[in-house]
Structure 1
Amino acid sequence: MSGVIVSMRRTLLSCTSLVRNGMMTLGMTLGATVGATLVSTTPGHAGDLSLLNGILELNHQEFAVLTTALALLGFTVVSAILLMHTRVRAAKSDARLRSHIQSLQVEADNFRALLFAEPQILIAWAAGDDRPQISGDISLVMPQDSQHQPQRILAFGTWLPPEPALQMDHAVDALREAGESFLLNLTSSNGRAFEAMGRAVGGQAIVRIRELSGLRRELAETNLRHKALLEETEMLRGFAAAAPWPIWAKGIKGNLNYANDAYARATEATNAADAIDRDLGLLDSADRTDMDRALTEKGAFTARLPIVIDGERRIYDVHALNVDGGSAGIAIDASEAVALRAALVRMAEAHRRTLDQLSSGVAVFDAQRRLAFYNDSYRRLWDLDRTFLDNNPDDSSVLDRLRAARKLPEQADFRAWKAKLHEAYRAIETEKETWYLPDGRAVSVVTTPNPEGGVTYLFDDVTESLDLARRFDGLIRVQRETLDNLAEAVAVFGSNGRAQLSNPAFAKMWKLSPEALQERPHIETVEAWCRPLFDDPNIWRTLREAVTAIENRVEVPLKLERKDGSVLDCMTMPLPDGATMLTFQDITDTENVERALRERNEALETADQMKVDFVHHVSYELRSPLTTIIGFAHFLSDPVTGPLMPKQAEYLGYITASTNALLAIINNILDLATIDAGAMSLNLGPVDIRKTIEAAAEGIQDRLATDRIELKLDVDPNIGTFVGDERRVVQVLYNLLANAVGFSPPDSAITVSAGRTEHSVIFRVTDSGPGIPPDVKDKVFDWFESHSNGSRHRGAGLGLSLVRSFVELHGGKVRVDSIVGKGTTVTCDFPVDQAAHRNAAE
């Protein structure tokens, strides 16, 4: 109504403007007409004529000015007259308009009172105007503090839930842009019901919002419920149609009046309608009878039944119940569940058998804290009666029995300890602890909460493990202390090439930081640190390969001569765990001593060689003149040369004896020198043992007679022969006999014996002389070692040296057994077969 009034006011103002413009035009026209009339209708008046003449006498310009003035005067007069009439008419029209507007205002107030007799809100958008006019009581939807901000009502999300607010936004946009009407039933955030209606009226978009109450509200709520039920019904129908399980509904008389596609496929019908028309049953007749009986008696039926579908027998869980107007049912394929249950049972049995084989004791208590499972290890660990365990005792009873048998840790407050243990039934995480039993055992206890309720206990006797761990820790500490106190530098590198262990001596020897070694550096890093002291790339490559090698892991000895002059003896030792131990020993002093000893030994060897060369040379030089002397002595003793005086013959006898002795000494020296030079060779052949002894004894007969010494032979006549150099064997026996005669007292006896074994021939020469002291026993075979203690003859000390050389040249051995004051026995052991002996030696 207010819009109509505003339109009427605009029309009235337009009419007034048009009337005013028309009156001004009419006044100008009338003024011009009156001026012309005056000129033409008053010729009889003199003043007027003179005026007219005066006017006529004016020039054209002045006349025009005059004419204009007269026209203006006429227009003014006429305008004044017309204005008076217009004002009269306008006053009358204004009175009528005011009366009409007043009546319209009254009518508009009546309409407004009628419109807002019911609480509602009007929102109007004029065409092209984004600022709407909002009327009504906005407190219907907005709080009281928002009365001065009516525009906030357009923020629908402030008083509507998200989904209805989005519907309002879309509906208002469609109304303003395309003039689409709408009618929405809304529920505000505080639970009040509203109706929102939108219409396009007279070029304006108008939205009315009013609260529903009474019958209208009930009708709206009924419509909403009806719509929700329709949507729910369609959703359930869609679900039932798409469900993979057969679903059906039957009437009161038991006839099939609904079936889904799965039901049709299960009954081999063409479609659901065909199944309904033919009233096909899913179950066998006996199962259908049982289902009908259960529905009649109990109103519900549940069973797991076999159903043949597409020629395959499968297991289904069938559920049916009475509903209004009949019954409904569903069959859910449980074949996989049955198979899984059977597999689960088999798996549980397998687990049970496996747990029975475990060395760990296992006890499972259910949610009621009763023993559900135990293995034999659990029974043996706690020595519990099988009958007691098979009766499924509760957790507390088991603990009480163990406590009575003193098989639980001693506790000051057993009840509090047991309550803390039973917190595992409410726990989430696994707990582990160790029980130290009164009998000295240590038992590891792991309590694991079960997802389905209850607790699983795992018991392990860790007495031996803890003892081993203590021993291992002790060994580790001993190893650590041992390594730390070793003079040798030790470093252990893992198979990855990183240092795992080292002692202070290693860091000190290579001038490394102990803190840096604790960072487990790689062998290449350690090499870089050590290169300032030793930079031989070949040895470092050997060390790297020894540390990182996977195959052919062997010990590698190395000698490192560092830049600082020190010498290290290095050894790489593969360890069983794949690691490699490097040991470094400073052998600088040892190397220096060894070098000095080596130089000294070389000097001694050179001196010995010089001595041998000198003796050999002198012996050869002495033999020539000595041979001449011997020759002339024999020549002079020959009667052909003439008779000699007795004194001359005596002197010539002394010369002959002395020269023979000297020749024997020279020959012995030459033989020893030849053997020492490795130039002596044996003339092997059969050696008659008994004849060899007799030949040696023949050479000392004169000395035996002179010293009144008896020679005893202890030789088997059938002793036989052996392979050897007969001349050298005779020489050995002669020297032994000569040595025995020299140490034997007068009127004593010397025994020569010979025996043989499977592989050797043994000669023994025994005297009853003073014996050899133990401190010189090892020197009797050295060159020029002559011991005159108890000997009547002083020799050159070459006899026994020559004996040992000849016996060893044959591959035999010489042994001296002597008791001071009782005598000496020298044993020579010759191999029977020289060829076999030499092959074995080679």
Structure 2
Amino acid sequence: MSGMYLFGLCLISVAAAGLIISVLARFLDQKNQSTRAMIREAEDEIVFLFDETKLIDATPSAKALLRRRATEKTDWDRFLGFFASNFPQIRTTMSSIQSGGSKMLTSPSDPDLRLDVELCDGIIRVTYQEGFRRRTAVDIATLTSIEDELHTLRGIAESAPQLIWKQDDTGTITWANRSYLDLAALVAGYAETEIPPWPPAELFSKLDTQDDLIPTRHSIDLGTGRSPKWFEVTKAHRNAETIHFAVDVTKVTKAEETQRSYVQTLVKTFAQLSVGLAIFNSDRELIVFNPALHDLTEIPADFLASRPKLHTFFDRLRDQKNIHVAADQRSWRDQIVSLEKEAKAGRYSVNWELSNGQVYRFVGRPHPDGALAFLVEDVTSEISLTRRFEAQIETGQAVMDSLDDAIAVFSAAGIMIMSNQSYHQLWNYTKTAPFVGSTLLDESRFWQDASAPTPIWTRLREDGGLSRSSQVWSDTIRHNDGRLLECSTRPMPNGATLVRFRHTGDSKSGREAVIALWAAQG
């Protein structure tokens, strides 16, 4: 009994399924017949049939329009991309139309263009019409030329390395070139084999506040491990749409960052210098200065920041520091002109004495692009030290000249660095300068010629110079005029050697002294 019951249920189920399939097939057949009827009614017009966003049929002329759109991936995107420029509200209209309803769209830029949209049996029918007013006929040659130009312009836009895209008044992207689409897919994380949805993602934000034809810089984050890309974006309104252009300026931005970092490093370095720096451009305006310039010159910072001229800066410096320069204005102006010329040639270097006793050294050098750079340094301590050393040297020389003993000092290299008047008189020296610069070997030959024969000079040459001996050394020689001299050496600091000739008081004549010396040597 149960088996018969189950068998009956199966028969009923099969019959029901067959009935459903038959009804569905009839419905689909009716829908297909209705769709074909819609197309046949407008075979010579531009008509599209959509089932939601899927193109199910179109007239030949409508299909030809879609084939011109190579950028978009789907028929729906090609359709919207083709008509969005003339009908900005097409997206809203297609999504809001109700069953059994119809809407007519007229292009705001050209009233001769119209779209008729109607929803019937779940199918959206879109009819494109143009030429409600009389139009001028276009010959085939002109149309071919226009299509060739259009093809060329599309090729240029697609091949352009810049990002180019259009947006309607709602901000929706209605067209984009290949560079934009590739970058949008990369940012969204799509693989090369995947087809990103349309419209693509908006890469740049806050462009609505940007003025037309005024470029602004924007960055795009490419994700972890990648440096951001920088673009210079320019927009231009065209009817109800906005065209955007973005140029990759990543390298330029990095170069500017490097330059800013370099300039900041230089600024920090200049700020730590104790030497004042002033750079005047080719128009002789002060464009760069460091804090040391303000500290040294005591010129107010607001005056320096006002980009004073070269002569104005030095006028203020003269008045501020009471520099001892030309009193009359004409001579002062001539001095500034000469200063500028010498600095341009890289020869300007002068010490200016102030009324308070300070000494400032000004050095002028040429700078790139016709600019001039001046370095200001307080050399008061250096000048004072130099003058003190010179005074000490002069005092030491005067002390040596007051001695009766003939003295000469030789450096570690055997060069005479000092001698006194007694030395010059003893050896009839013609040079009177304290630093004669002759060598120990030259002097020893001179001593040998002016004295009686003695093995001292031979030993001196064989030993390679008295300056190499660290021991006190002395011996007696006879001058050609008969005087008996004690010759002695003494080591001095830094490897120098002092040679002293001292008169012993023997008053024999030169001839008798020579005979006595020869007799003594047997």
TM norm structure 2: 0.46
Query: Which structure's CA Rg is the greater one?
Result: 1
Q: Work out which structure has the larger RCO, using CA pairs closer than 8 Å and 6 or more positions apart in sequence.
A: 2
Greater helix fraction, Structure 1 or Structure 2: 1
TM norm structure 1: 0.31
